[in-house]
Amino acid sequence: MGSSSGLSGMMQGEDKDDEKTVVTPKRIVIIGGGISGLAAAYKLSREDLFEGERPQIILLERSSRAGGAISTYELEDYTLELGPDMFMTEKPEALKLCEDLGLSDYIVSTNESCRRTFIAQGGQLHPLPPGFQMLAPSQLAPFFSSPLMSMGGKLRMAMDLFIPKKSGDEDESLAQFVRRRFGQEALERIAQPMLGGVYTADPERLSLAATMPRFIEMEQKHSSVIRALMAEKKPGENGDAGCRYGKFVSLKRGLGMLTERLLSALPADCVHLQCPVTAIEKGTHGKTYDVVVASGTLVPADAVIISSPAFAAADILNGLDLDLADKLRKIQYSSCAVMNLIYNREDIPHALDGFGFVVPAVENRTILACSFASVKFPNRCPSEKAVLRIFAGGALQQDVFELSDEQIECLMWEDLHLYLGLKSVPLLSLITRYPRSMPQYHIGHIELVKEIRSKVQALPGIALAGNAYEGVGIPDCIRSGQKAAAELAAYFKSAVS
């Protein structure tokens, strides 16, 4: 992998001299080396998308490493995920990419014996009842016997069976949907913490259509979410409690294996680190665009994929289309911190008989969620140890992210003492911060993205990718990168025609 200094030769052979213009291969520049950018680079460099000569692919990453939020830290017998730790198989893009990269034998499923989630309430952890799917139960008996909600709250939630489906197709927030169908207690005690662990979002602003359209479809088809979940349930199936964990997998040595294998599959001169891009300008060296690096280097390009966060893409595109940049800036972001803790297993009084717990905002604690990482996937640490992953920050707790590492650690340990009975400090703690990392799919997000896509179409050879537009999960990001690559292949084909 190269650095900013490795770009110095990019402009050679691309200027007109007095006698002739030197013909160079087509060049595609990818801005951003997260999983979206890497997936785009892999598709462009490996698949036969182009007639004739394959274009040169240049990926520019602002930081000192590629992979974005995907980051695995290996320490002796420990595998610590500093970012996401699994991906969904129901969306096939990540699984297919692993297969293409020869990683099929390294795919591991979640621990079948502990597929449940706990919810914090009043200093105690209560398991979600079997068959509970994010917002609603698919089985009424376990739900009514659970102490998670009051009897009044349970009866209000069961009213979903009788409430008519919503008319009209106007966008609705998650909070509006849950209150309308299940009531306020269901929102505060279950929906908000369950979705908080996924989107780190404010449910009052989170667009249901942009994040969980499945529940809208259920309501429209069955006039009841609970009735729809019951209809989906297979005979004899109890179901995971919480997040359908049977549909999630990881890799034996962590998700860092995926980015490592992607990088090794790319051409040797493709990836350039520590190359923050500041702008895209109209081309002056025989190419359509000049990509401006902070060092002052101009990288001429025939086409560009921008897989940076929306606010960074806005700054980069500001000189080409001010209105497009303004629309990109409307996509807001939240920040979060992830802490990995290693403990002696005997020092944790809790049975750790699940995958972790989430904490409702009404509990007024510091942590959003705690994952029992060494339980969720096999061989993440020695058997006599345990690894916990703690999450803090998000849209409802942005002030927590502003605290120092030491302050966050102290507050987290207070919560772990309350909920897990921990009395000792960890053998190791490792905190990783992700500023402005989670795009917030607010009400109107789908229409906003349509407007952004329409504007981009007016810029020949420009494509957008990343988690800001049509999904925040790893498969979503891979799909966005692959889609951007296909768009540019079609662009070159139409240009030739």
Question: What domains can you pick out in the chain, each with its CATH number?
Answer: 4-63+257-330+444-496 (3.50.50.60), 86-114+333-439 (3.90.660.20), 131-241 (1.10.3110.10)
Is there a contact between 186 and 153 (Cβ–Cβ < 8 Å)? Answer: yes
- Which is it for strands 289-293 and 277-282: parallel, antiparallel or unpaired? antiparallel
Q: How far apart are the first and last CA of the chain?
A: 35
3 state SS of 322: helix
Q: Which of 255, 248, 199 is nearest to 80 (CA)?
A: 255
Confidence at residue 239, expressed as pLDDT on a 0 to 100 scale: 55
pLDDT score of 216 = 95
Residue 261 main-chain phi, psi, to 5 deg = -70, -35
C-alpha span between 229 and 391 (Å, rounded): 29
Running along the chain, 497 residues long, what does each successive block of 10 average in pLDDT? 62 44 76 98 86 88 97 96 96 97 96 92 93 89 94 96 92 96 96 86 95 95 95 65 76 97 95 97 91 95 98 97 98 96 96 96 94 95 97 92 92 95 93 96 98 97 97 97 96 79
pLDDT for the residue numbered 241: 57
229 vs 127: CA distance, rounded Å: 19
State residue 243's pLDDT score.
59
